Amino acid sequence: MNPNPAPKVPVPADEAFIHAALHEKARLHPSKYDETLVRNILLETVERPVRAELTHSGSREDRKLWIIGTAAAAAVAVLFAGIFAALPFRDDRLEEEVLFIVQHGNEITEEETANQTTPAPSKAGQPYRGTLSLTANAPGPRASFSIPDSDLELTTIFGQSISEFSPRAVRRESFHIVADEISIEADEKVYTGNVILEYGALQISSEYVRVSRSDHGEMASLSGTVIAHYVTVHQQSPYRKIVAERLDFHPLTASLVLSGIRLFQSESEPNFPVEGDQRIILKNDELAVERAPADTGNLIKYANPLPKENKRK
Amino acid sequence: MHLVRISDQPDNLPKASEALDPKRDGDFAELVRLHHSELLVYARALSHDYSTACDIVQESFVIAYEKVHTFDVTRDFATWMRGIVRNKWREWLRKNNRYELTDGEIASIDADVAAWQAKRTEGSSTLFDALERCLSRLPENLKEAVYACYFEGRTGEEAAEKLSIGPAALRKRLQRARQLLKQCLDQKLESPSPPSDPIIES
């Protein structure tokens, strides 16, 4: 349903109310309520996560005391969070921090550096006479994820070929997640009920979020380490609001991919052409749109269940 | 915390809005559910734009929540909210250099919304329920025009072509339909159970 259908001609004021009511009724049909709007309002009002507001103290001594007090309070809070996280059921909202560490290559220790021997220089100009192999010796980039149950840290380690270029690059991608319920299913953590994800300047609300716990170390596990369904993404500055059917987070590229776009509002890109079959990719403050790949991978062909004899008849 | 799905709530559930205190979180959430539809229609009537209306209503409720300590419980919450929506709309007008409505026009829209908010507060049927019943009583040619333009999302030209009439005739039918629907809704406001026979065009 087009949310802004015709007619475009402004109507007289005495008809404006009926005109708007017809538009809204058509838009919400068959529901009588705008559930998305109500959910968004509640998320920004009565269900808004409580954030500690930092206050500036006057003197240096006061500030010192304040920092010590805050640190002590934080330590107590972390202790209690750890205790409560270990409990299977709780009545109030559950909070977790999910940290993805994307690591290019292994860090070289001082001992390894000391043991490294430099090969002796060889005479130049000797032609190579062996057979040429077209297969790369170095393994391709590999990645592995693991989520220790204690602190939910996911580590991605690249293979040798990448480490040649960037031996010590480490990037951290942190998600703060608040949800009504958290459960563990096979290789995934599942967050359900008014889930709020905070990732940088983005606040993402959803009803169902899965965090992959795959530790197979295969490239296949790189996609969809965080998958959220029916999401609303809010960004304050520049203002953006995106409602989409699905969100995928890719830790390697640190990009959020939104597909099944239902609504796109943007202060900085007011006329950005986004259609339902396109995907929005958010990376830092940048936004890109691409056409979703044709979904042929899920096509399942079934064999004819009838026996061959019956088929001949 | 448990979010009640709005669609799960029975429509005829009596909601005494006066008994709800917006300073309590649970009551505030109830007031959002109770008033958002009419405020959305109000914001849309003012702004003529769906996404702007959504933003205005959302921002208005956020402001109301932040300033709820200033709300006088003896006052009407719906009236207070309409005032915030109106101010947000004026703010949007200033930023976007859009058309202005006269005070009389705003008052006319305001009165229509206020009447329905009051009725909703009493726990009566929603505006959309009443509108549906009034739609079903429209003469067939007007009903077709309304459905083609509003519900099927056709442009004026497309709707006119579908109904095999000229664009001017379509505009006339829509205008007539809106007038009859307004009359019908006004009757519903006055009487809880109006007759169900078709609306007669005068």
Please tell me whether residues B95 and B139 are part of one structural domain: no
CB contacts under 8 A, A 72-111 vs B, are 92-93
Of B54, B99, B131, the CB nearest to A25: B131
**Number of domains chain B is built from:** 2
Domain residue ranges of chain A, discontinuous segments joined by +: 7-48, 57-83
Please tell me whether residues B68 and B47 are part of one structural domain: yes
Residue B47 in domain: yes
> Hey, how many other C-beta atoms are within 10 angstroms of the C-beta on A126?
7
> pLDDT averaged over consecutive 10-residue blocks of chain B (202 residues)?
35 54 88 90 89 92 91 85 92 78 85 81 75 91 92 86 92 92 80 52 48
Give one DSSP letter per residue of chain A, joined into a string: --SSPSP-SPPPHHHHHHHHHHHHHHHHTT-SS-HHHHHHHHHHTTTPPP-PPP---SSHHHHHHHHHHHHHHHHHHHHHHHHHHHSS--SS-EEEEEEEEEE-SPPPPHHHHHH--PPPP--TTPPP-SPPP-S-SSPPP-------TTT-EEEEE--HHHHTT-TT-EEEEEEEEEESEEEEETTEEEEEEEEEEEETTEEEEEEEEEEE---S--GGGGS-SEEEEEEEEEETTTTEEEEEEEEEEETTTTEEEEEEEEEEEESS-TT----TTEEEEEETTEEEEEEPPP--TT---PPP-S-HHHHH-
Q: What is the model's pLDDT at position B139?
A: 93
Work out the minimum CA distance from A38 to partner chain B, whole angstroms.
7
Q: Is A41 an 8 Å CB contact of chain B?
A: yes
Work out the minimum CA distance from B147 to partner chain A, whole angstroms.
9
Please tell me whether residues B101 and B24 are part of one structural domain: yes
Q: Is A53 an 8 Å CB contact of chain B?
A: no
Please tell me whether residues B136 and B55 are part of one structural domain: no
Residue B48 in domain: yes
Mean per-residue pLDDT, A22-47: 84
Position A284 pLDDT exceeds 70: yes
Interchain CB distance below 8 Å, B149 and A5: yes
Q: What is the model's pLDDT at position A196?
A: 87
Per the model's pLDDT, the better-predicted residue between A154 and A271 turns out to be A271
Q: What is the model's pLDDT at position B105?
A: 85
Residue B13 in domain: no
Q: What is the model's pLDDT at position A72?
A: 66
Please tell me whether residues B109 and B127 are part of one structural domain: no
Of B25, B48, B156, the CB nearest to A10: B48
User: How many residue contacts between A and B have a Cβ separation below 8 Å?
Assistant: 165
Of A20, A29, A92, the CB nearest to B41: A20
B71, B93, B114 - which closes a domain: B114
Please tell me whether residues B170 and B97 are part of one structural domain: no
Q: For A81-128, how does the pLDDT look when each residue is reduced to its tens digit (9 = 90+)? A: 555 455 444 446 788 777 766 655 444 455 555 555 555 555 545 555
Position A270 pLDDT exceeds 90: no
Residue B5, H or E segment? none
B60, B81, B114 - which closes a domain: B114
Cβ atoms of B47 and B92 closer than 8 Å: yes
Please tell me whether residues B137 and B110 are part of one structural domain: no
CB contacts under 8 A, B 113-152 vs A, are 113, 126-129, 131-132, 146, 149-152
Per the model's pLDDT, the better-predicted residue between B142 and A263 turns out to be B142
CATH number at residue B82: 1.10.1740
Q: What is the model's pLDDT at position A170?
A: 65
Interchain CB distance below 8 Å, A26 and B132: no
Most confident of A151-165, A295-309, B47-61, B112-126: B47-61
Q: For A41-79, how does the pLDDT look when each residue is reduced to its tens digit (9 = 90+)? A: 988 888 776 543 333 444 555 556 666 666 666 666 666
Q: List the single residue in A with minimal CA-CA distance to B55.
A: A37
Per the model's pLDDT, the better-predicted residue between A155 and B128 turns out to be B128
B114, B148, B180 - which closes a domain: B114
The residues near B109 (Cβ < 8 Å, ≥ 6 apart) are A13, A16, A17, B42, B45, B46, B101
- Closest among A226, A224, A181 to A199, alpha carbons compared: A226
Residue B12 in domain: no
Q: List the single residue in B with minimal CA-CA distance to A43.
A: B62
Q: What is the model's pLDDT at position B152?
A: 85
Enclosing domain of residue B100: 19-114
CATH number at residue B195: 1.10.10.10
Query: How high does pLDDT run on average in chain A?
Result: 66
User: Which of A18, A28, A36, A262 should one mutate to test binding to chain B, selecting the residue with the greatest count of B CBs within 10 A?
Assistant: A18
Q: What is the model's pLDDT at position B104?
A: 84
Q: For A108-120, how does the pLDDT look when each residue is reduced to its tens digit (9 = 90+)? A: 455 555 555 555 5
Q: For A196-231, how does the pLDDT look when each residue is reduced to its tens digit (9 = 90+)? A: 888 888 889 887 888 875 544 443 334 457 888 888
Q: What is the model's pLDDT at position B180?
A: 92
Residue A227 has, within 13 A of its CA and on its CB side, a CA count of 12
Work out the minimum CA distance from A183 to partner chain B, whole angstroms.
16
Q: What is the model's pLDDT at position A140?
A: 45
Please tell me whether residues B23 and B107 are part of one structural domain: yes
The interface pTM score, or ipTM, of the predicted complex is 0.77
